[in-house]
């Protein structure tokens, strides 16, 4: 499982010999190009999930979108199934009243 980017950023800020607070300010404001330039040794974990332009962040968002669409499709199917079940029950009740 990927490390939380905020945790990774804090760990890096505490371990770096350079200005960790400046790093965290840049990270908090989403200044990722500046971080890559000023702190080239920053681990990728500080970017994944935080930087919307990072390839792994994009891939994760695309997977989330696909999953959300699958959930919507399943919900629509379940709604149709419930509606069909309700119609079946109503038809059965009607037929029973009619003596069929």
- Which residues 6+ apart lie within 8 Å of 21 measured at CB? 13
CA 52 to CA 56: how far, in whole Å? Answer: 9
* pLDDT-based confidence at residue 100 (cuts at 50, 70, 90): low
Instruction: Please count the residues of the chain.
Output: 100
> Model-level pTM greater than 0.75?
no
- pLDDT tens digit string along 69-94? 777 777 777 777 777 777 777 777 77
Query: Residue 62 above 70 pLDDT?
Result: no
Rounded Cα distance, 5 and 44, in Å: 9
Instruction: Report which listed range, 16-25, 66-75, 89-98, is most confident.
Output: 16-25
């Amino acid at each position: 499982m990927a490390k939380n980017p905020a945790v990774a950023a804090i760990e890096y800020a505490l371990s770096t010999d350079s200005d960790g607070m400046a790093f965290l300010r840049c990270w908090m404001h989403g200044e990722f190009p500046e971080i890559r330039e000023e702190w080239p040794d920053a681990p990728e974990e500080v970017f994944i999930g935080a930087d919307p332009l990072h390839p792994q962040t994009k891939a994760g968002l695309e997977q989330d979108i696909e999953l959300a669409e699958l959930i919507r499709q399943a919900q629509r199917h379940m709604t149709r199934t419930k509606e069909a079940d309700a119609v079946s029950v109503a038809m059965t009740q009607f037929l029973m009243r009619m003596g069929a």
